[in-house]
Structures are given as C-alpha cells and as structure tokens.
Structure 1
Amino acid sequence: MSGADSEQRSWRSGLSFVLAITGAAVGLGNIWRFPYMAGEHGGSAFLLLYACFVLCLGLPIMAAEIMIGRAGGRAPLQSLRLLAAHGGGSTRWGGIALWGGATLLLVLSFYSVVAGWALDYTLQAFSGRLADRSPEAIGAAFDALLADPWRVTADHTLFMIMTLGVVVAGVRRGIARLNNWLVPLLYGLLVALVIMVAIMTDGVMPALRWLLTPDFSRLDGGVVLNAMGHAFFTLATGACALMAYGAGMPARQRILPLVFTVAVLDVLVALLAGVAIFAVVFDQGMEVAQGPGLVFVTLPIAFAQWPGGALWLGAFMGVLVVATWTSSINMAEPLVAMLEDAGWSRRRAAWLIGGTAWALGLLSALSFSVLAGVRPLEGMSLFDVMTALPTDIMMPIGGLLIALFAAWRLDRDQAFHALAAGPSGFAVWRGMTRFSAIPLLAVVLVAGLLSGG
C-alpha cells in the first residue's frame, strides 16, 4: 500500500474511528430488519437470542476481525495472506477475504434497494402525498411502489450513486466526515421518535412487555439460525469489512472496549426501533408479523393520524436512509481497498464495485414485479433469497473462518500486540474465541442448515 493510500485510509482521531465502526454496525438491520424479524419470530425470544449471540459470538469475532486488519495493515485479502505466511500457514487463508467480498456485494445490493424505498417514502412524506390517507390507501401505495420496476430501479440507482460519491472521496475526505455528522444525527432522531411515540400512543408498555417478557414457545432451529445471522448482520462482522478499518486504526485505540461499546449501542438501537414500531402496531391493533413491509406500511398508517404526522414520517424515513447510507459506505470501502491494493485507482475500483452491486440489486428490486414469478428456493422470492443467503448463511460462515484464523493460525505475538489488551485481556479473548465462540457457532450453523433454516 502506497503512502498516499495509507494516508487516505487512516483515521486521524479515535472518535472518528469509533463513529465509523458504529456507522458500519448500526443500520438497516436494527431499524428495518430487526422489527420484522422479531415480529415473525416471537418477539422476546428472538430479541433474547439475538442479544446473546451478539455477546458470546459477535464480540470476540468482531474483535478478531479488527485485530487482523490492524496486524496486517492492509486491505483484507493482502492482510490475511501476509499474516498467514508470517505464521507459517498457507496464503489460501486469503480466500476468507474473497468470501467476505462476495458477502458484502450481496448485502450491499439489497441494502441499496431497501434504502431506495426509504428515499422514496421520505420524499413522499415531506411533499404531503402520504398525509390524510386511509390505511388501505397506504398499503396500496407500498404495493404500487414495489410493482413499479422503473421507480424502484430509479430509487436504487440514486442511493447507489450517493454511496459511491462518498467512497470515491476516501476515508478522511468522505467517509469520516459523513460519519461524524450522520451517526450522532441518527441517534438523535431515533430518540426523538421514541419520545414522540410514547406521547402519542398507548402502545409503549405493551411493546416493552412483548419484547422483554421471555416466551420460548415458538423457538425452533430456524429462529435460532435467524437470530444468529441477524447478530452478525447488525454488527457488520463475518464479511471482512471491519478488517479494512482495523488497518487504519489509531494506535492508541483499544479494541475490546470499542467492540463492547458498539455491541451495546447495536442492541440498544434495535430495542429503541422495536419499541417505536411495535408501540404503533399494538396501539393500532395491527398484526406484528407483516414481513419486510412492516416499517413501510405500519408507521405511515399511524403517522397519518398524528398532527404533523407527515413530518414525523419523513423524519423516520430519513433516519432509515441515514442508517443505511453510513452502513453501505462502510461495506463498499473494504472492497474498494482490496482493488486499490491490487493496483486499481480508487475511482475506478469504486465504480466497479458499485456497478456490480447495482446489477445484483436489480434481482431484489424487480422481484416484486417483472421477476415476481421466479421462486428459486422453496417458494422464496428473489428478494428473500438475496437477503437470507448473505445474512443468515454467508456471514456466520465467514465469522467462523475469521475466528479460526485469528485464534489458531495467527502468530501469537502479532495477535497479542494488535489486540493491545494486556495478558489477561488477551487470554480472555482467546479463550472465548477458541472454546466458546467457535464451537457454538459451528454447532448452531450446522444445526440450522440441517433443519432447513
């Protein structure tokens, strides 16, 4: 990596780095995917499993991923190959980065599609087109959006251009500046929304009871696998994205406190979003299991009845756009970094990655219209496949490979110095990764796959 590239990818301050990792972790999974997954899988049982997987699997593997990036000091592919060779292993360990790259492309592709929906709704809300509509009209409006191939493609294209415009500018001039503004804004808007929901509805306590009172009657292998996959998805781990950031990590930054902070914030945002959305659901007497359209149908129906509801709806959809924007930028960056280290210019690499993700995203964007009849797996739509495959399968497999490399193959001295947690902290991390995270992840993943997810 050249000096210019190293300068472009490094982080000047610890705060910028923390905001970047938080921006990568907190996003679409917390505000859009968690509520509908919880709605489909029993609420409290799903939340409890998801939080447990964040702590016992997400934390050690997230630390391992950042540590590998810091130790290698390069893009994920080059770091893994370099560290494997230094430890006397095969450079084929670099294949983890290729697996992660494929995972990131798939996630980025459907991320852009859903963010396009949110962009569309934000414009509709602020223009007043969603005000004073009946519940039937609002539900029909979402169906009409999905059924319009040109409109969803245009929304998808606009969001991808927004993402690439920041990535092309690099870490310091683009990504860091955007994260520094948008991540605090995201939290402020979400807290304001929860306060407003508490004032305007009577559903906050029912939502809290439904989310926090344990109910394991609906537990099965599929719920466990989905909860584990969601933990990896929301932490942005298991796809080598965090390795790219670890490569430019400030020298004084400590990994273990960082990942613990991000994990707590991740679960907290999911809980806040869940309370806000399910408070509206229970207040309006709606069904909790509405699938991916939960946010795009339930909230507009409720907000349409509030004073100034169109503005609040626009603010919420703006939160969703902001959360998705920060995460999508942080997913594209490691892919661009790998191509840069292979000799590509940043601009050329960014547009290639973006163009590929955009093309893959058309499968999701058109799965409700011209490709609605394509059902490749057990009746699942292309959108279902494009969201489930990378999040529930590919990310956990990537996390398992990352943990195996970090805990068993990476040179001990390199791992110790990169983690910078002292002898006791290093021993705890290594023990958790070797004897807890890896076996549990392997068992849950195999059991889930054998049960058919």
Structure 2
Amino acid sequence: MKEVVDRWSSRRAFILAVTGAAVGLGNIWRFPYVAGENGGALFFLLYVFFVLAMGLPVMIAEIMIGRAGRRPPIQALAALAQERGRSAKWSWVAGFGLLTVFLVLSFYSVVSGWSIEYLSSTVQGKFAGASAENISHALDVFLANPWLVVLNHSLFMLLTMAVVAKGVSSGLERLNNWLMPLLYLLLVVLVIYAATTPGFGEALKWLFSPKFEELTPLVVVNALGHAFFTLAIGACALMAYGAYMPEDQSLVKAVVIVAVLDVLVAVLSGVAIFSVVFSHHLDPTSGPGLMFVALPIAFSAMPFGIPLLGAFFLLLLFATWTSSINLAEPMVASISTGRLSRPVAALIVGLCVWAAGLLPALSFSTLANVRPIAGMTFFDLVTSVPPDIFLPLGGLMIAWFAANVLDPEKAAGALGVGTSGFWLWLHITRYVAIPLVVLVLLSALVPKLI
C-alpha cells in the first residue's frame, strides 16, 4: 500500500480538522449535563486535569502513528509493526477502531438528527408560547414517530457523506475552514447574551468554584471518562488525520491548541446553558434532557428566546456535523483504493452506517420492546458499549503500540520535539496515561459485568 498523497494544505487546516473531530456531542450536549450530575466545578477541574494527563499523551500517540506511517490506519499499523519485526496483526487495532467509529457514528447520526428536528421546530415557531408541559412531551412525541426519526437520521447521514466524498482538501478542509470559526462565533454570541441574564453569576460559580468536600470516586471516574470521550481518541480517526499532516507542523503544539479549543467549547457551552438554567430555576442535574427539554422551556419564556434557541440547535448541528465527517473519514480512507473511488467508498460506508443506525433510531418506537442484552434497547447498547468500553480499549492499544512497538527513532521523528521531549512523552504515556486509560476501561467494564 502506497503512502497517502493527500495532505492538509496548511497547519491551520490540520488544527481545525482535528478540533472538528474532537468538538461535538461530548462538548455541547454531554458536558453540561454530566457536569450538572457531578457537582459542576469539581468535575470541570478534574476533567481539565485528565485531559492534560491522559488525553493529550494518547492523542499525540494516535496522530504520531498516522504521521509515521503515512497510510490509512490498518496499513500503517501493519507496516510499522513489521518494521520492528513484530506481527502485522497489530493492524487489527485499526480494524477494531473502524468497528468502533462505525458503531459510534450509527448513533451519532441519530442523535444529531434530533438537532435537525429541533432546529426545524424552532424556526417554525413550535416552541413560541408553548407550555412547559407541551415542550416536555415534545421529545417523547418526536421519538415515538419512527418515520420522522429515520428521516432526520437520513438527512444527517447525507450531509456527512456528501462532504467526505469530496476528499480532504475539497471536502473536509473546506467545511472545517468556515464551519469551525462560525461555531465559535455562535458560542461567543450566546455567552454574551448569557452575561445579561440573572443566572450568569450563579453559572460561573457553579462551573469555577469547586467544593472539594463533594469529591467522590464516582466524580473522578466520570471526569476521567468524559476527558477520554471528548477528545475523539481511541478509534484511529485521528490516526488517519496524522497521515495527512504537513511535514513542517509541530505535532505537540497542534495537539495542545486542539485541547484548548476543545475545552473552550465545553466551558462556553456550560456558561451559556447554565446561565439560562439558573435564570429560570431549573434543575442543573436534569440529565440528557437538559438540551432538548430544559433549554426549550427556558428560552420560550425569555425575550428574543426563540432566535437564541435556534442558534443553540444550529450550534449543535454544526458541531456534530464536523465530528461525524471526521468519524467517517478513516472508514472511507481504508476502503478507498485505485479500483474503488472515494465517492463510491463514501456511498458504501454511508449506506452501511445508515442501515445500522436504524436500530437505535427505532429503539423508541417500533423496537422499543426489543432488549437483546441486559434489558437494554439497541439505543442503550450502542450509546454505552462503544464509547464507554471500545474507545478506551482502542486508546489503550494505540498508546501501548506507540510507546512499546513503534520504532523509537521513527516515533521521535514524527513527534518532532527532540530526544528529551520524546522521552518525556514516552514516560508520561507509559506511567501516567496508560494506567489512567486502564482505570477508565475498568470503571466502565466492571459495572456492566456485575
């Protein structure tokens, strides 16, 4: 397999692309409600610490492998392992990663379709003047309609694969170049508005004044898990991006910038959302319904609330769109060959993911009573097992490969920070990041086995 010839056109393009992969449901939908369920500021402080201690070293490892191999993930791992006299079966790590992104994208598309529906409903004025009771029931009514859920799932997959089919420079790079700055602009506008609400001060206190007496093992474990999930590591998607990385770009600097931008989205989203929540005396621990139930109730009662609610769902759509195209990329890159063009590969991947997504999409209606394992629906399974178990397991294998299998000289060259910088990364990865990833994996695996 020849090395990839496509490259990001600039350092900025690479950073925006990796940021687009990292920023998504984890930052805008999941972070606010998980932070709410785990005490706010203390969770946020631990989350940032684990991003630095665990997330950055593993992210560096994944991109490093792609940069050193300059091939799609499966071929890169096989070639790099054989160079060191190791088994080409290390390629199965990438195969496992592709399975993981396949499953994650199948539910990602479904949940992202909800943002399309809610954006459409907001634009149509369905939430204007609606009672809290009607808004609370709106999500249940929508999910119980299989045709509507599948329609929005289909629209989102079409949006995703249309971009991926165009390739790196014409598709992914062009979308990231205008969509990511627009996403941050929307966030800033929402935070400026949040600063005018009576709940702004309480939101800042909730997010930035930790109460250390509330520290529990569960809060630590949840912060660990979220730090891992939010950076899009463990599924070889970033490995594919590393193969396209410009030769003269600093890997470490790029990863640090991406981590800062990723955490920034979570912070800005938290400030904007909790300001509205506290302004209307809503429960910050209301769980996943915070975005789709609590916010529509709050915004419907606020001046200019409906346009701002539309901005929230547009923001969510943008974030999930950039993430989904970056999840799809390694799958398309892996099967796109001289005989199979990228558009055809994108069509095949898109159709397969769409078909798999029908199971979680119909879990609230037609398949609501189908519970194949441990009383869980297909939606419960696909939203818990791949992100909670498969991603950490993939991240563990990727970090182990980079730290113990990859040729140290080749790894140091791909890292590009000199001998001392490489050994610093190596020791942090071996003795800090890998044990923390094991803890993430065990914390998710043990409760499911009991």
How many Å separate the matches in 2 of 1:322 and 1:444? 29
TM-score by length of 1: 0.94
In structure 1, the partner of 2:287 is: 291
How many Å separate the matches in 2 of 1:397 and 1:204? 39
**Contact 2:388-2:444 within 8 A present in 1 as well:** no
Match of 1:202 among 198, 211, 234: 198
Match of 1:423 among 419, 422, 433: 419
Q: What displacement does 1:219 show?
A: 5.5
State how many pairs are aligned: 449
**Contact 2:77-2:94 within 8 A present in 1 as well:** yes
Match of 1:91 among 77, 88, 92: 88
**Contact 1:225-1:445 within 8 A present in 2 as well:** no
The range that moved more, 433-442 or 22-31, is 433-442
In structure 2, the partner of 1:266 is: 262
Match of 1:344 among 334, 340, 344: 340
In structure 1, the partner of 2:305 is: 309
Secondary structure of the corresponding residue to residue 182 of structure 2? helix
Q: Report whether the alignment pairs 1:109 with 2:95.
A: no
Match of 2:410 among 407, 414, 424: 414
TM-score by length of 2: 0.95
Match of 1:391 among 380, 387, 391: 387
> CA 1:156/1:219 → structure 2, altered by over 3 Å: closer, same or farther?
farther
In structure 2, what residue type is equivalent to 1:94?
S
**Contact 1:45-1:215 within 8 A present in 2 as well:** yes
**Contact 2:251-2:416 within 8 A present in 1 as well:** yes
Q: List alignment gaps of at least 5 residues for structure 1.
A: none
Pairs within 5 Å for 1:22-101: 22-101=19-98
Q: Which segments of structure 1 move beyond 6 Å, counting only runs of 4 or more?
A: none
Q: List alignment gaps of at least 5 residues for structure 2.
A: none
In structure 2, the partner of 1:405 is: 401
How many Å separate the matches in 2 of 1:173 and 1:309? 37
**Contact 1:221-1:451 within 8 A present in 2 as well:** no
The range that moved more, 25-34 or 304-313, is 304-313
Secondary structure of the corresponding residue to residue 336 of structure 2? helix
Pairs within 5 Å for 1:237-256: 237-256=233-252
In structure 1, the partner of 2:188 is: 191
How many Å separate the matches in 2 of 1:122 and 1:68? 39
Q: Report whether the alignment pairs 1:21 with 2:18.
A: yes
How many Å separate the matches in 2 of 1:426 and 1:377? 44
Computed over aligned residues only, the root mean square deviation of the Cα atoms, in angstroms, reads: 1.9
Match of 1:368 among 364, 369, 377: 364
How many Å separate the matches in 1 of 2:50 and 2:390? 16
Q: Report whether the alignment pairs 1:134 with 2:122.
A: no
**Contact 2:2-2:71 within 8 A present in 1 as well:** no
**Contact 1:230-1:391 within 8 A present in 2 as well:** no
Secondary structure of the corresponding residue to residue 291 of structure 1? coil
Secondary structure of the corresponding residue to residue 104 of structure 1? helix
**Contact 1:69-1:244 within 8 A present in 2 as well:** yes
In structure 2, what residue type is equivalent to 1:194?
V
How many Å separate the matches in 2 of 1:390 and 1:145? 25
In structure 1, what residue type is equivalent to 2:225?
G
Match of 1:119 among 116, 119, 126: 116
Q: What displacement does 1:311 show?
A: 1.3
How many Å separate the matches in 2 of 1:184 and 1:95? 36
In structure 2, the partner of 1:164 is: 161
In structure 1, what residue type is equivalent to 2:102?
L
Secondary structure of the corresponding residue to residue 184 of structure 1? helix
How many Å separate the matches in 1 of 2:323 and 2:46? 23
Q: What displacement does 1:293 show?
A: 2.0
Per-residue CA deviations over 1:388-431 (Å, capped at 9, x if unaligned) read: 21211111111110010000110011101111111221121111
How many Å separate the matches in 2 of 1:198 and 1:365? 37
The range that moved more, 231-240 or 318-327, is 231-240
The range that moved more, 205-214 or 440-449, is 440-449
How many Å separate the matches in 1 of 2:385 and 2:220? 15
Per-residue CA deviations over 1:298-336 (Å, capped at 9, x if unaligned) read: 111121122332211111111100000011001100111
Q: What displacement does 1:97 show?
A: 0.3
How many Å separate the matches in 2 of 1:115 and 1:247? 28
The range that moved more, 32-41 or 214-223, is 214-223
Q: What displacement does 1:21 show?
A: 0.7
In structure 1, what residue type is equivalent to 2:27?
N
Match of 2:350 among 348, 354, 361: 354
How many Å separate the matches in 1 of 2:18 and 2:381? 27
How many Å separate the matches in 2 of 1:79 and 1:260? 24
Q: What displacement does 1:223 show?
A: 4.4
Per-residue CA deviations over 1:255-277 (Å, capped at 9, x if unaligned) read: 11111111111112111111211
Secondary structure of the corresponding residue to residue 245 of structure 2? coil
How many Å separate the matches in 2 of 1:384 and 1:195? 36
